[in-house]
Each structure stands twice: as C-alpha cells, then as structure tokens.
Structure 1
C-alpha cells in the first residue's frame, strides 16, 4: 500500500466494519471494560463488540449512547446439538441487551448429512431474536472444508433466517480464508439476485493487517459491488485488526498484531 492517503482511507473504511472481539478463555470484567473503551476512537468507532454472553449486560452499559452494537456468541465454539439449550442461551443474551447473536451452526451434524437438523436449530434461534436484533450464523468453514458443502451450508443458513453468514469461530486450525469467502459472497449475491433479500457477510479469525482486510473488501466489491460493504452488510471479526488500522490512519505501516 504505497499511497499513504489511500491506505488511510481504506483503513478508515475497514475500521467502521470491525466487530471488536474478546472471546478469550479467562476473559474478565476488566478485559471487557478495556475492550469497550477501545471501541470508540478519535479516528472513528467500530461497528460492534463481540463478547461472551456473560459480558453482554456489562458491555451494553459501557457502550450506552455510542451507537456501537453488542454482539455475543451462542453454541460456541463447538456447534453442538442441544438446540433447546442454545435457544435458552439466546433468549438470555437478548434479555441482557444483545443486539446481535452469532450462532455456531451444528456443522458436524450438517457434514454428517443432518441438514434438516442444522436448519431447524437456526430457525428456532432466529425465532428467539426479535427485530431489530440480528442473527449471524457461523458456518465454521475451515472444519467443513469441502467447497460444495460450504456453498450448501451458506444456502441452508440463509434459508433458515440468517441475517449474516460468518466464516469461523476463530477457535479452530483453519479460520477465515478468501476461498471460503468467495463461495459465501457468491451465495449472498445469488440470494440478492433471485430473492431480493439482503444478507451480510463476516469473515473472522486471522485477519490482523490492513492488507488482510483489503483482500476481503476487494472480493466483496468485485462480487457485490463497490457500495455494498457497509456496517449493515459486512463485518470483520477480529481483536488485533483495530490497532493495525489505527496505526495506518495515523501514518504507520499497520503491522500485524496478535489476536483473534
């Protein structure tokens, strides 16, 4: 990114799309307070913070009046089969103030051929989320692996009511990849073309630099158009990315940071 002004503009665009994430084991109240403090900067604010359900109410209180949304995760990270428990977890998160629910679809059941089971869990969780709260469905594409199955999982999640489809939990060996992103964005484009229904996209896991973010935005721009990727339709699930983007906006190089 040789042109610093262009890099800074791209970094500012990406910053507004970040779901600033702390899903670390052992996360504390102090960690959440620090996360929420980072969410609003002189250079702009992120779209949302993404935290464990236990921290939703605290995050909501810390971010009151900022416009930053609070997202949380359910059925995370295993993508288990206990749908009733996942629905209860979702209902509690909504009661605590969550604006967005990131559900790990039961991807092992899906890969094993239990497509209807996976679809039903998503439907039931979606039914527990009153508007304007939204549902993001995590496919765990690195574990699904097969491109055809990633395509089918995207279709199932959207048909069952997903407002966004998300690549990964960030907790497995292979997380977001451009290959999976292209498949998912193509299904989103097909859904828009055939049904007129808007669906968002969230790559997560391993996105740490401006170059990383730029590659995903370029893909979205190519498939869905240069005006498509806004906070209403596109998010980056990341913890270290924000620091890299701020560094570029301030004139630095945006070197990689550790994190989700």
Structure 2
C-alpha cells in the first residue's frame, strides 16, 4: 500500500501556467451540467467547447488541447461520438479525461467505460464507488452517489493507474491523486459543494484542462483539485445556502484565476 503524502504546495504555479495557455477543452459531458461546466472553465480562463456529432467530435478532439468524456447521460449515439473522440485524441497525442459516472451501478455504461480504457486516458476522475468499479472491485453505490469514503478506494485507484496508465483522482471529503507510484492527498472543500449539481463533473473538466499543461501531470491534477476545493471554501464562507453558493463559487474561481497573474 502506497502511503499518501499531503499536497501542501500552492496551486499558483499551475494556475499561472493555465492562465498563459488558456487551453481549449472539448467537453463531451452530460446534459445536466453542460452550462455549469462551461462557466467553471470560463471562470478559470479556459475555452470550453461541446461538439457531439461523431464525425465532428473526432475532428475537434484532434484540434482541442484536451478532451473530457463524461458518461453521465450516456446513449448509444453519444457513445459513438465518445469513442470517436477518444480514438482521435489518442492518435493526435491529445490528453483526454474519463469521468465514469455511475459505473458499477449500471451495466451499459460500465461495459462502455471498460471499452474506453483501451484508448489510454491521461486521467480518470471519479468518486470512490466509480473508481473501485472501474478497477473491477466489488462496490456499493447508488447511481452517482458513492457509498464509500474516498480513502476506501486507494488500492483500486493505484491499481487502476498502473493498469490504464492514467493519473487517477478519487474525490470525496479528501481527494486522492495517484499515478500508480505516487499518491497525493488534497484536503479542503465544503459540504455545500455536494448540494449543487455538477461540481464533480466540473472538476473532471478542470482536471482535463490541467492535463494540457506541460510538466508533472500528477502535480497539475492535484493543483486542479485544490483550486476547486479552495474556491469552494471561499464561496461557502459567504454563502447562505446552495442557491447563493453557485454564483459565489464561479466568482471565487475567477478571482483565483486573476490572482495567478499577480
């Protein structure tokens, strides 16, 4: 068992590089979160795009700096576009990130995500139940909700990173990021983040965007997790509840982005 080390570095270096690069992120994501995901990426200074027709998805994935594949509202037609995008991104050397929403709870998406792994994602971001299921371990889950603490999925995350070649981020009260050899714990965040639809899916998009940065990908993904948790902490301090949290969260992401220029 690899012992996790705490991520104590400031995400400022990754954010500053992110600001300089302004990555173009192709998001094949679920219907529920498209607008919020786009707004999160825009607040951080990225350029989101959502192209879903299979032929165009393949073409655009070769152009984009990074690709997100989120199977939250998976259909057969969307699966065709996602496979085309993953294949094209891999062939073009562009990093793509898998968010295996509700894998383990439902057979169609579970089989589909196993198929996607053949295209070698740069990163995988999910909750404990999703990561354990993707690693073919026994799990308990309820749709998109994990019934496991993120620490319960550490062995699965390490094994999945080793077998897939991806950086694996298992997120929860504490986020853990591993490349199969190193394991980093990222603390922080707020319970209010679980009361707003799409914060996890948006985190996957931010992870995808940070994969486009040169340098140590594990450290960049840990920084992405910390950027989101730090914005959540700041927003929660001023929010009266979920309704006021969401716009404050976007504002805090924007301020973190602006601070990176200082």
Give TM class, smaller chain.
0.3 to 0.5
> Larger helix proportion, structure 1 or 2?
2
Q: Which has the higher contact order (CA 8 A, sep 6+)?
A: 2
Normalised to the residue count of structure 1, the TM-score between the two structures is 0.43
Normalised to the residue count of structure 2, the TM-score between the two structures is 0.43
